[in-house]
Amino acid sequence: MSPEHWTRPSRPDDRDRLADTAVPAATSATPTREQVIAGLRATSEGGADLVQLLTPEGQRVSHPDFDIDITDEQLRGMYRDMVLVRRADREGNALQRQGQLGIWVPLLGQEAAQIGAGRAMRPQDMAFPSYREHGVAWCRGIDPTELLGIFRGTDHGSWDPNETGMSLYTIVIGNQCVNATGYAMGQKFDGKVGNSGDDPASNEATMVFFGDGATSQGDVHEGMVWASVYDAPVVFFCQNNQWAISEPTERQSRVPLYERAKGYGFPGIRVDGNDVLASLAVSQWAMNEARQGNGPLLIEAFTYRMDAHTTSDDATRYRLDDELEAWKLKDPIERLRAHLLREEIADQEFFDGVDSEADELAARFREFCVNMPEPPPERMFSAVYAEESPVVAAQREDYLNYLAGFADSGHDTEGSVR
Amino acid sequence: MAAPTMESTGSSTTPTQTITIAKGLNNALRNAMERDPKVLVMGEDVGKLGGVFRVTDGLQKDFGEHRVLDTPLAESGIIGTAIGLAMRGFRPVCEIQFDGFIFPGFDQIVSQLSKMHYRTQGKVKVPLVIRVPFGGGIGAVEHHSESPESLFAHVAGLKVVSCSNPVDAYWMLQQAIDSDDPVLFFEPKRRYWEKAELDPTAEHLPMISSAVLRTGSDVTVATYGPTVKTCMEAATAAEEDGNDVEVVDLRSLSPLDLGPVAESVRRTGRLVVVSESPPESSVTSEVATRIQQECFYSLEAPVLRVNGFDTPYPPSKLEEGYLPDLDRVLDAVDRSLAY
């Protein structure tokens, strides 16, 4: 399908289509309590443009623009992916509650969006995550234990971005969108885009992950501007989980987020972010377009943050339980499970096997976490610059001498230097 | 430099109460909003949630969504629109959620906020306050523990202050809102829950002034923000060694009020300057330079500094080594005395 499908200035039926969609324009600042209860925020309904291939009941449906050939093996694989990353995520939450982690950023509810996107990437592609992308990390071959250092405070991210094809988590909101665009420009400058010769499989693209809140940041806008004028092979994957800490998406936009792409001149598609099949189908299509030189593209994965923003947050202060309950009925894992059962693609033995694998992962995750070594004091000064700085070197020497003074005087260094 | 004069309000009849820094800031915002309908509060999550540190708790409920704005998630937008609102006659108080998130707004602060008064030669005033929870020690992930105050102290046209206790939090924030100049207001986040007695009718210092918190005759320690408490504890500990440490809370970082520090150093002959920020080209460098210029003949030892390090803020398991603590302050006091 051609991207022009979306980038034509206006389709004759646009006006009707928008009217039919009935996604609230969100002209008022904050929906009233009554509006939320009445579902007028429409957080649980993605509107007429929502791409869905699996209903919340697990029934396979067709879509005129997006379909996907998928094997039973792949379906079972994505079910396993989602169960395992959710289990690691829940364990991360528990470890924080038990004092083993400083903070944890829950992924709960966004498994389908991330696994669909992550499984659409090839090894040579590049991912630029925000900080909730545990599912994407999983797909990039980053073991969940490698995420722990960030949240336990032993490192700022332990994986190698070059080896894994995934940049480190980015905490300042939206920053990564410009970096991803630059990386994608580099892929293009290096001749890795649009090749149709002997090895088109060597084409590359970049996928950048951010949230609904981030769409307000200048960096996201600038990333989209750059990507569009340089035809960068980048897919902007926005997980609209409805909440930027306490602020609903209405605080960020009057229009559905996917429609913003039109203003930049590239396609924007809203996909059911709780439908792993749809997320995979749209992501595969978008990444292929980007690899072929038809980028950039925007995907809005319409999903829900089922837990708090982080373990430091108390979501009960600003949102109603009803909303959460409505979204529980759209659970991404239950949806695929229902489909696998309905179509007899998996049996109880398979589900039991995945569950016991999840138990093993959880045990390994915990074991790894509580046994992580403390970083040595000299780690503070390591690799600040590519060329060693005399200033940093002098400070390291002074500090280590200072610590050695405690050891000489018979004090316990660990205890004395707070 | 003239000694700061005490200011008195006396309009309030609220009795003395025990409050935290967070509550002192909350009360200050409430007072300012009650006094002046042009005072606005704006930032991410400051409304319904009351801010991630609850400093703005209850304000949107009492003053409405048009005075307490849950803004879109963009710091350049928060500060840039606040500048426009200030040009229109409002007095916005912006909250930046964490120190490390201020940089998308840095351009607006440096290019517009700091220069507007100068460019218009005073025809346009920008009475804007930017509140920034800053500093480490809370076991957080990246960008949540930084001390970027020196970057702002370096910019002409900005006032930069930091409170260290609930009483200063209460008064200084109101003074910052009253100021016709833009004020960067740095709040010691790991001290938000420290308590003190506040008498809202008592005299208080002007915002641009430093304060001697503890008198002593052997060594002067000058600091601000979260390390004030550290230095007060160090001074108490130094007593055991027979050392009498004077502690000055700088309070205002730009402009600096170094009169009380110089007066102190003329008596003690020794100065240790303490802050969490990296040492190079920082507020502590400025204090050290100016005191050695002003007190050269009184100094018995070089001015020493205790800071973080010239590294990015480390992973939190290492932050106790990064942050100046009681031992490192005492070590500097001992080195100064031994010189």
Of the candidates A152, A154, A245, which has its C-beta nearest B49's C-beta? A245
What integer pLDDT is reported at residue A47 of this predicted model?
83
Which domains does chain B possess?
Answer: 17-198 (3.40.50.970), 211-338 (3.40.50.920)
* Contact call for residues A220 and A177 (beta carbons, < 8 A): yes
Of the candidates B140, B280, B312, which has its C-beta nearest A391's C-beta? B280
Query: What are the φ/ψ torsions at residue A84 (nearest 5 degrees)?
Result: -70, -45
Of the candidates B77, B141, B321, which has its C-beta nearest A151's C-beta? B141
CA dist., res. A358 & res. A82, Å (int): 10
Of the candidates A219, A246, A418, which has its C-beta nearest B45's C-beta? A246
Say how many CB pairs under 8 Å bridge A and B.
133
B139 touches chain A (CB under 8 A): yes
Pick the more confident residue, B5 or B254: B254
pLDDT in tens, B66-82: 999 999 999 999 999 99
Of the candidates B45, B104, B316, which has its C-beta nearest A153's C-beta? B316
* Contact call for residues B317 and A150 (beta carbons, < 8 A): no
What integer pLDDT is reported at residue A43 of this predicted model?
60
B124 touches chain A (CB under 8 A): no
Segments of chain A scoring below 70 in pLDDT: 1-44, 198, 409-418
Residue A370 CA: distances (Å) to CA of A100, A106, A186, B54, B230? 7, 19, 40, 32, 30
Q: Is B318's CB within 8 Å of A375's CB?
A: yes
Per CB-CB distance under 8 Å, the chain B contacts of A395 are: 309-311
Mutate to test the interface with A, among B40, B42, B46, B49 (most CBs of A within 10 A): B49
Question: Is residue B154 among the annotated active site residues?
Answer: no
What integer pLDDT is reported at residue A413 of this predicted model?
44
* CB proximity list for A405: less than 8 A, separation 6 or greater: none
Q: Is A172's CB within 8 Å of B100's CB?
A: yes
What integer pLDDT is reported at residue A11 of this predicted model?
41
CA dist., res. B250 & res. B208, Å (int): 9
- Give me B328's structure tokens: 């490192």
* CB proximity list for A165: less than 8 A, separation 6 or greater: A121, A123, A124, A125, A126, A127, A140
Q: Is B316's CB within 8 Å of A102's CB?
A: yes
Which of B313, B326, B280 has the alpha carbon at shortest distance from B138? B313
What integer pLDDT is reported at residue A409 of this predicted model?
67
B143 touches chain A (CB under 8 A): yes
B331 touches chain A (CB under 8 A): yes
Residue B61 CA: distances (Å) to CA of B29, B35, B49, B57? 14, 17, 10, 9
Least confident of A4-18, B171-185, B253-267, B301-315: A4-18
A237: which strand partners? Answer: A209, A299
Mutate to test the interface with A, among B66, B99, B101, B141 (most CBs of A within 10 A): B141
Architecture of the A4-370 domain: 3-Layer(aba) Sandwich (3.40)
Per CB-CB distance under 8 Å, the chain B contacts of A399 are: 309, 321
Would you list the domain boundaries of chain A? Answer: 4-370, 378-416
What integer pLDDT is reported at residue A42 of this predicted model?
54
Say whether the peptide bond before residue A56 is cis (omega within 30 degrees of 0).
no
What integer pLDDT is reported at residue B4 of this predicted model?
57
CA dist., res. A308 & res. A30, Å (int): 19
Q: Which helix or strand (DSSP H or E) is residue A260 part of? A: helix A260-264
What integer pLDDT is reported at residue A103 of this predicted model?
97
Q: Is B100's CB within 8 Å of A103's CB?
A: no
Give the B window 256-295 contacts with A, CB below 8 Å: 280
CA dist., res. A246 & res. A256, Å (int): 19
Q: Tell me the shortest Cα–Cα distance from B316 to chain A, in angstroms.
A: 4
Annotated active-site residue in B66, B117, B143, B144: B144
DSSP character string of B225-261: TTHHHHHHHHHHHHHHTT--EEEEE--EEETB--HHH
DSSP character string of B104-140: GGHHIIIIIITTHHHHTTTSS----EEEEEE---S--
What integer pLDDT is reported at residue A31 of this predicted model?
52
CA dist., res. B172 & res. B167, Å (int): 8
Per CB-CB distance under 8 Å, the chain A contacts of B309 are: 380-381, 392, 395, 399
* CB proximity list for A147: less than 8 A, separation 6 or greater: A88, A92, A134, A137
CA dist., res. A204 & res. A193, Å (int): 6
Q: Is B317's CB within 8 Å of A247's CB?
A: no
* CB proximity list for A3: less than 8 A, separation 6 or greater: A266, A267, A289, A294, A297
Q: Is A156's CB within 8 Å of B326's CB?
A: no
Of the candidates B50, B104, B311, which has its C-beta nearest A218's C-beta? B104
Of the candidates A29, A173, A381, which has its C-beta nearest B65's C-beta? A29
What integer pLDDT is reported at residue A203 of this predicted model?
96
First to last CA, chain B: 29
Give the B window 8-47 contacts with A, CB below 8 Å: 44-45, 47
CA dist., res. B209 & res. B226, Å (int): 17
A221 touches chain B (CB under 8 A): no
Radius of gyration, alpha carbons of chain B: 20
What integer pLDDT is reported at residue A17 of this predicted model?
44
Residue B64 CA: distances (Å) to CA of A147, B37, B47, B93? 41, 12, 9, 15
ipTM: 0.90
CA dist., res. B244 & res. B218, Å (int): 5
Q: Is B311's CB within 8 Å of A381's CB?
A: yes
Q: Tell me the shortest Cα–Cα distance from B287 to chain A, in angstroms.
A: 20
A251 touches chain B (CB under 8 A): yes
Q: Does the pLDDT at position B219 exceed 60?
A: yes
**Residue environment code for A310-347, b if the CB has 16+ CB neighbours within 10 A, otherwise e:** bbbbebeebbeeebbeebeebbbbebbbbbbeeeebbe
- When the pLDDT of each residue in chain B is averaged and rounded to a whole number, the result is 96
A32 touches chain B (CB under 8 A): no
Q: Tell me the shortest Cα–Cα distance from A412 to chain B, in angstroms.
A: 13
What integer pLDDT is reported at residue A416 of this predicted model?
38
Q: Is the dihedral of CA B73, A266, A123, A88 positive or negative?
A: positive
Say whether the peptide bond before residue A256 is cis (omega within 30 degrees of 0).
no
The pTM of this model reads: 0.90
What integer pLDDT is reported at residue A201 of this predicted model?
84
**A217 → chain B, closest CA residue:** B74
**A82: amino acid identity, one letter:** M
Q: Is A392's CB within 8 Å of B328's CB?
A: no
**B105 → chain A, closest CA residue:** A218
A399 touches chain B (CB under 8 A): yes
pLDDT in tens, B109-122: 999 999 999 999 99
Beta-strand pair A206-211/A234-240: parallel
Q: How confident is the model at residue B169 (pLDDT cuts 50, 70, 90)?
A: very high
CA dist., res. B126 & res. B118, Å (int): 11
Q: Tell me the shortest Cα–Cα distance from B180 to chain A, in angstroms.
A: 28
Averaged pLDDT, B270-283: 98
**B87: amino acid identity, one letter:** M
Q: Tell me the shortest Cα–Cα distance from A290 to chain B, in angstroms.
A: 28
